[in-house]
Amino acid sequence: MSDETRLRLISALSLGSLNVGELHQIIGGAQSNVSHHLKILERAGIIKHKKEGTWNYYHLDNTTSPASLIAKNFIELHNTNGSTLPKILDDDSERARVLLEKRRDEAKEFFDSIASEWENIREDKINTGSYLGKLTDLIPDEATIVELGCGSGIFLKELLPRSGKTIGVDYSGAMLHEAEQKLKEFDVELRLGYLEHLPISDNKIDLALAHMVLHHVTYPPDALADIYRIVKKGGKILVVDLVEHNNQLMSERYADKWLGFNTNDFTRWILEAGFCDVEISHFGPDSKVFMLTATKK
């Protein structure tokens, strides 16, 4: 473990999930060297990978506890290299943030460009008929709710009018403009923001809904952590998303960052964020859609 490249990889992956090409851009040197050290870290149980299309995306494995070993070797290497390592890691972190922001901005640009057509595009992509009734039944009328990635307001319109406070958040200004037009007769707050940095104060939300949005997020655990922050104690998260698939066209046509989710992995993320009492059900032909609820402790 006392190897500079491996420590740099761990530092970069602490910021999010990255593929070999992106890690090579951050670390430099030979790509084969990056791949070699990734294999060592994976064998040690410190990182894992998930295949998305043609790429393997690596992330830290939070189910293990190598923190003390990493810290020990980090200190030893820092003492060996004097003051050079912190500067190297800072530079790596900046390059990683630029890459992750680029990924996020690509999705934002896509949604800005198709905002006026999204209602038709979404219906072609996802048939909501198999679960829409069940979903609306799970949302209490008097609760303070937020739809995360509300887009052009298609689903919010299904819920309104309602007694409780209703908030919609999206990172696309063009999508929010469409939502404003669609929902202008209703009492709803629309806010511009990223799911990883929600424009909502702590402990304000009874129910946070993420409906077919997290597969567009660069690294969903970051979003889940911020969702946990805004939900009240005893409040709930409700996620509807795609089960893991291998249809690469979804990424090319709809800016999907994840080809659905393995529900075991997703449950682990939910628990790591701090939620409990996870329940999952499946819908649609071949159970391609999952619905998950969990409670904030």
Interval 193-209: pLDDT, tens: 999 999 999 999 999 99
Question: Residue 124: its pLDDT value, please?
Answer: 64
Question: Residue 50: its pLDDT value, please?
Answer: 81
Question: Residue 245: its pLDDT value, please?
Answer: 87
| 189-192 β-sheet, strand order | 189-192, 166-170, 145-148, 205-211, 231-242, 289-296, 275-283
Task: Quote the CA–CA distance of 292 and 267 in Å, as a whole number.
Answer: 9
Interval 71-83: pLDDT, tens: 446 545 655 555 5
Q: CATH says 126-296 is which class?
A: alpha beta
Question: Residue 277: its pLDDT value, please?
Answer: 98
- CATH 3.40.50.150 domain position(s) in the chain: 126-296
- CATH 1.10.10.10 domain position(s) in the chain: 4-113
- Write the single-letter amino acid at 117: E
Protein fold of 4-113: Arc Repressor Mutant, subunit A (1.10.10)
Residues of the chain under the 50 pLDDT cut = 68, 71-72, 75
Nearest to 41 by CA among 27, 278, 53, 54: 27
Question: Residue 257: its pLDDT value, please?
Answer: 85
